[in-house]
Protein backbone atom coordinates (compact mmCIF):
# COMPACT_ATOMS: atom_id res chain seq x y z
CA UNK A 1 0.00 0.00 0.00
CA UNK A 2 1.65 3.20 -1.20
CA UNK A 3 2.00 5.86 1.47
CA UNK A 4 1.20 3.49 4.35
CA UNK A 5 3.85 2.07 6.67
CA UNK A 6 3.41 -0.99 8.90
CA UNK A 7 4.97 -1.06 12.38
CA UNK A 8 4.76 -3.12 15.54
CA UNK A 9 4.37 -1.85 19.10
CA UNK A 10 4.75 -4.05 22.18
CA UNK A 11 3.15 -3.36 25.55
CA UNK A 12 5.00 -4.81 28.54
CA UNK A 13 2.55 -6.42 30.98
CA UNK A 14 3.52 -5.96 34.64
CA UNK A 15 1.90 -9.16 35.84
CA UNK A 16 3.88 -12.24 36.81
CA UNK A 17 3.59 -14.93 34.17
CA UNK A 18 1.74 -12.71 31.68
CA UNK A 19 3.12 -12.31 28.17
CA UNK A 20 3.74 -8.93 26.64
CA UNK A 21 1.16 -7.89 24.02
CA UNK A 22 2.08 -6.76 20.52
CA UNK A 23 -0.06 -4.63 18.21
CA UNK A 24 0.50 -4.06 14.51
CA UNK A 25 -0.36 -0.52 13.47
CA UNK A 26 -0.23 1.46 10.26
CA UNK A 27 0.61 5.10 9.64
CA UNK A 28 -0.74 6.96 6.63
CA UNK A 29 1.64 9.54 5.16
CA UNK A 30 -1.34 11.72 4.18
CA UNK A 31 -3.18 11.42 7.51
CA UNK A 32 -4.86 14.61 8.80
CA UNK A 33 -3.24 16.68 11.54
CA UNK A 34 -0.22 14.77 12.81
CA UNK A 35 -1.75 11.32 12.40
CA UNK A 36 1.32 10.13 10.48
CA UNK A 37 3.25 9.74 13.77
CA UNK A 38 2.88 7.65 16.92
CA UNK A 39 2.41 10.00 19.86
CA UNK A 40 3.18 9.13 23.49
CA UNK A 41 -0.41 9.72 24.58
CA UNK A 42 -1.65 7.05 22.16
CA UNK A 43 0.91 4.57 23.44
CA UNK A 44 0.20 5.57 27.06
CA UNK A 45 -3.56 5.08 26.83
CA UNK A 46 -3.04 1.72 25.12
CA UNK A 47 -0.70 0.65 27.95
CA UNK A 48 -3.35 1.55 30.52
CA UNK A 49 -5.97 -0.44 28.62
CA UNK A 50 -3.91 -3.61 28.20
CA UNK A 51 -1.95 -3.84 31.47
CA UNK A 52 -4.21 -4.63 34.46
CA UNK A 53 -1.95 -2.84 36.94
CA UNK A 54 -1.79 0.33 34.86
CA UNK A 55 -5.53 0.12 34.22
CA UNK A 56 -6.15 0.10 37.96
CA UNK A 57 -3.84 3.12 38.34
CA UNK A 58 -5.84 5.07 35.77
CA UNK A 59 -9.42 4.02 36.42
CA UNK A 60 -9.11 3.43 40.16
CA UNK A 61 -12.45 3.66 41.94
CA UNK A 62 -14.35 3.52 38.64
CA UNK A 63 -13.52 -0.19 38.35
CA UNK A 64 -15.31 -1.47 41.44
CA UNK A 65 -16.94 -4.87 41.18
CA UNK A 66 -20.07 -4.20 39.14
CA UNK A 67 -21.80 -7.38 40.22
CA UNK A 68 -21.71 -6.19 43.81
CA UNK A 69 -22.29 -2.50 43.22
CA UNK A 70 -24.55 -2.56 40.19
CA UNK A 71 -23.05 0.69 38.92
CA UNK A 72 -19.71 2.28 38.07
CA UNK A 73 -17.79 1.41 34.92
CA UNK A 74 -17.83 -2.06 33.37
CA UNK A 75 -14.67 -3.64 32.00
CA UNK A 76 -14.23 -4.46 29.21
CA UNK A 77 -16.46 -1.62 28.04
CA UNK A 78 -19.40 -2.22 25.74
CA UNK A 79 -19.17 0.60 23.17
CA UNK A 80 -15.98 2.62 22.59
CA UNK A 81 -15.09 5.43 20.21
CA UNK A 82 -11.76 7.13 19.50
CA UNK A 83 -11.54 10.65 18.10
CA UNK A 84 -8.73 11.49 15.65
CA UNK A 85 -7.57 7.89 15.78
CA UNK A 86 -4.44 8.11 13.58
CA UNK A 87 -2.32 5.09 14.56
CA UNK A 88 -5.33 4.01 16.69
CA UNK A 89 -3.34 2.10 19.32
CA UNK A 90 -6.03 2.73 22.00
CA UNK A 91 -8.80 1.41 19.73
CA UNK A 92 -6.77 -1.64 18.77
CA UNK A 93 -5.96 -2.23 22.43
CA UNK A 94 -9.67 -2.08 23.28
CA UNK A 95 -10.40 -4.62 20.58
CA UNK A 96 -7.74 -6.91 22.02
CA UNK A 97 -9.07 -6.32 25.57
CA UNK A 98 -12.54 -7.55 24.62
CA UNK A 99 -14.62 -4.41 24.05
CA UNK A 100 -17.90 -5.36 22.39
CA UNK A 101 -17.76 -2.55 19.82
CA UNK A 102 -14.94 -0.18 18.85
CA UNK A 103 -15.62 2.76 16.53
CA UNK A 104 -12.45 4.17 14.91
CA UNK A 105 -12.95 7.78 13.75
CA UNK A 106 -10.79 10.37 12.04
CA UNK A 107 -11.36 13.43 9.90
CA UNK A 108 -11.93 12.55 6.27
CA UNK A 109 -9.20 14.02 4.09
CA UNK A 110 -8.46 11.04 1.86
CA UNK A 111 -8.99 7.30 1.74
CA UNK A 112 -5.40 6.54 2.78
CA UNK A 113 -6.14 7.23 6.46
CA UNK A 114 -9.02 4.77 6.45
CA UNK A 115 -7.12 2.19 4.42
CA UNK A 116 -4.46 2.27 7.16
CA UNK A 117 -7.10 1.72 9.85
CA UNK A 118 -8.60 -1.20 7.89
CA UNK A 119 -5.16 -2.80 7.53
CA UNK A 120 -4.52 -2.47 11.28
CA UNK A 121 -7.82 -4.11 12.13
CA UNK A 122 -7.30 -6.93 9.61
CA UNK A 123 -3.69 -7.70 10.58
CA UNK A 124 -4.40 -7.77 14.31
CA UNK A 125 -7.58 -9.79 13.92
CA UNK A 126 -5.52 -12.39 12.08
CA UNK A 127 -2.83 -12.36 14.79
CA UNK A 128 -5.44 -12.64 17.56
CA UNK A 129 -7.52 -15.31 15.79
CA UNK A 130 -10.61 -13.13 15.55
CA UNK A 131 -12.80 -14.21 12.64
CA UNK A 132 -14.15 -11.95 9.90
CA UNK A 133 -17.74 -12.10 11.14
CA UNK A 134 -16.73 -11.16 14.68
CA UNK A 135 -14.49 -8.32 13.46
CA UNK A 136 -17.32 -6.99 11.31
CA UNK A 137 -19.60 -7.04 14.34
CA UNK A 138 -17.11 -5.51 16.77
CA UNK A 139 -15.51 -2.73 14.71
CA UNK A 140 -16.58 0.25 12.63
CA UNK A 141 -14.62 2.97 10.86
CA UNK A 142 -16.22 6.39 10.41
CA UNK A 143 -15.12 9.72 9.03
CA UNK A 144 -15.89 12.46 11.54
CA UNK A 145 -15.02 16.14 11.74
CA UNK A 146 -15.50 17.26 15.34
CA UNK A 147 -18.62 19.27 15.95
CA UNK A 148 -20.09 18.44 12.53
CA UNK A 149 -22.76 15.93 11.51
CA UNK A 150 -22.88 14.51 15.02
CA UNK A 151 -26.30 13.00 14.29
CA UNK A 152 -24.75 10.89 11.54
CA UNK A 153 -22.08 9.58 13.92
CA UNK A 154 -24.77 8.84 16.51
CA UNK A 155 -26.58 6.77 13.88
CA UNK A 156 -23.32 4.93 13.13
CA UNK A 157 -23.00 4.08 16.82
CA UNK A 158 -26.66 3.06 17.03
CA UNK A 159 -26.31 0.88 13.94
CA UNK A 160 -23.45 -0.93 15.63
CA UNK A 161 -25.61 -1.64 18.67
CA UNK A 162 -28.46 -4.14 18.62
CA UNK A 163 -31.12 -4.97 21.14
CA UNK A 164 -30.40 -8.49 22.29
CA UNK A 165 -34.07 -9.42 22.46
CA UNK A 166 -34.97 -8.95 18.80
CA UNK A 167 -31.74 -8.00 16.99
CA UNK A 168 -33.06 -4.57 16.03
CA UNK A 169 -30.97 -1.41 16.15
CA UNK A 170 -30.82 0.40 19.46
CA UNK A 171 -31.65 4.00 18.57
CA UNK A 172 -30.67 5.26 22.02
CA UNK A 173 -27.17 3.74 21.97
CA UNK A 174 -24.46 6.04 23.29
CA UNK A 175 -20.77 5.51 23.99
CA UNK A 176 -19.42 4.04 27.23
CA UNK A 177 -15.78 4.99 26.61
CA UNK A 178 -14.59 7.93 24.51
CA UNK A 179 -10.88 8.50 23.85
CA UNK A 180 -9.00 11.53 22.55
CA UNK A 181 -5.24 11.05 22.25
CA UNK A 182 -3.22 14.24 21.70
CA UNK A 183 -6.27 16.00 20.27
CA UNK A 184 -6.25 19.19 22.37
CA UNK A 185 -2.89 20.76 21.44
CA UNK A 186 -4.71 23.30 19.22
CA UNK A 187 -7.28 25.28 21.27
CA UNK A 188 -9.08 26.29 18.06
CA UNK A 189 -10.74 22.87 18.00
CA UNK A 190 -11.61 22.49 21.70
CA UNK A 191 -15.26 23.49 21.38
CA UNK A 192 -15.85 21.26 18.36
CA UNK A 193 -14.35 18.22 20.09
CA UNK A 194 -16.44 18.89 23.21
CA UNK A 195 -19.59 19.21 21.12
CA UNK A 196 -19.01 15.74 19.72
CA UNK A 197 -17.98 14.20 23.04
CA UNK A 198 -20.88 15.62 25.04
CA UNK A 199 -23.38 14.39 22.43
CA UNK A 200 -21.95 10.86 22.31
CA UNK A 201 -21.12 10.01 25.93
CA UNK A 202 -23.45 7.79 27.93
CA UNK A 203 -24.54 10.28 30.64
CA UNK A 204 -24.85 7.99 33.64
CA UNK A 205 -21.73 5.80 33.55
CA UNK A 206 -19.80 6.84 30.42
CA UNK A 207 -16.27 8.25 30.61
CA UNK A 208 -14.04 10.29 28.31
CA UNK A 209 -10.27 9.65 28.53
CA UNK A 210 -8.23 12.62 27.30
CA UNK A 211 -4.48 12.09 26.94
CA UNK A 212 -2.11 14.88 25.95
CA UNK A 213 1.44 16.15 26.06
CA UNK A 214 2.58 19.77 26.19
CA UNK A 215 4.23 20.54 22.86
CA UNK A 216 4.95 24.24 23.40
CA UNK A 217 2.98 25.41 20.36
CA UNK A 218 0.72 27.43 22.69
CA UNK A 219 0.95 28.28 26.42
CA UNK A 220 0.03 25.42 28.75
CA UNK A 221 -2.89 27.43 30.14
CA UNK A 222 -4.42 27.58 26.65
CA UNK A 223 -4.30 23.80 26.30
CA UNK A 224 -5.77 23.26 29.75
CA UNK A 225 -8.66 25.62 29.07
CA UNK A 226 -10.16 22.57 27.40
CA UNK A 227 -11.08 21.22 30.83
CA UNK A 228 -12.50 24.54 32.04
CA UNK A 229 -14.66 24.75 28.93
CA UNK A 230 -15.67 21.10 29.33
CA UNK A 231 -16.94 21.83 32.83
CA UNK A 232 -18.52 25.23 32.31
CA UNK A 233 -20.05 24.79 28.87
CA UNK A 234 -20.62 21.05 28.51
CA UNK A 235 -21.08 19.67 32.03
CA UNK A 236 -18.09 17.33 31.76
CA UNK A 237 -16.03 17.11 34.95
CA UNK A 238 -12.54 15.72 35.54
CA UNK A 239 -12.99 12.79 37.92
CA UNK A 240 -9.51 11.23 37.83
CA UNK A 241 -6.10 12.27 36.53
CA UNK A 242 -2.63 10.84 36.18
CA UNK A 243 0.77 11.98 34.87
CA UNK A 244 3.03 9.43 33.16
CA UNK A 245 6.67 10.29 32.50
CA UNK A 246 8.51 9.18 29.37
CA UNK A 247 12.11 10.23 29.94
CA UNK A 248 13.09 9.44 26.35
CA UNK A 249 10.84 12.25 25.03
CA UNK A 250 8.43 11.96 22.10
CA UNK A 251 10.23 9.23 20.20
CA UNK A 252 7.48 8.95 17.59
CA UNK A 253 8.41 12.38 16.24
CA UNK A 254 12.12 12.25 17.06
CA UNK A 255 11.96 14.67 20.00
CA UNK A 256 14.13 13.90 23.04
CA UNK A 257 12.60 16.72 25.09
CA UNK A 258 11.81 15.01 28.40
CA UNK A 259 9.10 17.50 29.41
CA UNK A 260 7.41 17.15 26.04
CA UNK A 261 7.47 13.39 26.50
CA UNK A 262 5.28 13.42 29.62
CA UNK A 263 1.65 12.37 29.15
CA UNK A 264 -1.22 13.85 31.12
CA UNK A 265 -4.26 11.59 31.39
CA UNK A 266 -7.58 12.97 32.57
CA UNK A 267 -10.91 11.19 32.79
CA UNK A 268 -14.06 13.23 32.31
CA UNK A 269 -17.64 12.24 33.10
CA UNK A 270 -21.00 13.96 32.95
CA UNK A 271 -21.82 16.15 35.95
CA UNK A 272 -24.85 14.00 36.87
CA UNK A 273 -23.05 10.67 36.39
CA UNK A 274 -22.40 8.18 39.17
CA UNK A 275 -18.71 9.03 38.92
CA UNK A 276 -19.19 12.70 39.82
CA UNK A 277 -21.69 11.94 42.57
CA UNK A 278 -19.31 9.52 44.23
CA UNK A 279 -16.47 12.03 44.51
CA UNK A 280 -18.81 14.92 45.41
CA UNK A 281 -17.78 17.31 42.64
**pLDDT for residue 60:** 83
pLDDT at residue number 252: 76
Q: Please check the confidence at residue 71 and state whether its pLDDT lies above 70.
A: no
Mean pLDDT calculated for residue range 8-23: 91
* Mean of the per-residue pLDDT values of the chain: 89
What integer is the mean pLDDT of 191-218? 96
DSSP secondary structure, 158-219, as one string: HHT-B-TTT--B-TT--BSEEEEES--SSGGGHHHHHHHHHHHB-TTT-EEEEEE---SSS-
Mean pLDDT along residues 102-127: 95
Average pLDDT on 190-208 reads: 97
Of residues 219 and 163, more confidence is placed in 219
At residue 166, the pLDDT reads: 47
What's the pLDDT tens digit per position in 154-183? 888 887 665 444 454 555 689 999 999 999
Q: What does the alpha-carbon distance between residue 88 and residue 80 come to, in Å, rounded to a whole number?
A: 12
CA atoms within 13 A on the CB side of 138: 22
Q: How far is CA 158 from CA 6, 79, 108, 155, 168, in A?
A: 31, 10, 21, 5, 10
pLDDT of residue 165: 44
pTM of whole model > 0.85? yes
**pLDDT above 90 covers what percent of the chain?**
71
CA pseudo-torsion sign 100, 177, 199, 181: negative
Position 205 scores a pLDDT of: 92
pLDDT of residue 163: 45
Average pLDDT over residues 25-31: 86
- Measured N-to-C along each axis, helices 89-97 and 111-127 cross at an angle, to the nearest 10 degrees, of 30
Asked if 264 and 243 count as a contact pair (C-beta separation under 8 A), the reply is yes
Amino acid sequence: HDGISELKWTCPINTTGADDISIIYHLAFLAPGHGDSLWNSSRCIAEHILDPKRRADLLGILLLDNEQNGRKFSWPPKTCLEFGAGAALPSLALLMAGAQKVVFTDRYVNEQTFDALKLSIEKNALAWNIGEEEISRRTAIAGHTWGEEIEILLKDVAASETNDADGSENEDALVDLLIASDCIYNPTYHAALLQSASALIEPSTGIFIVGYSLHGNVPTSHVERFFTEAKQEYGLEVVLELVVEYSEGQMGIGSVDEERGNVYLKILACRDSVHCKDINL
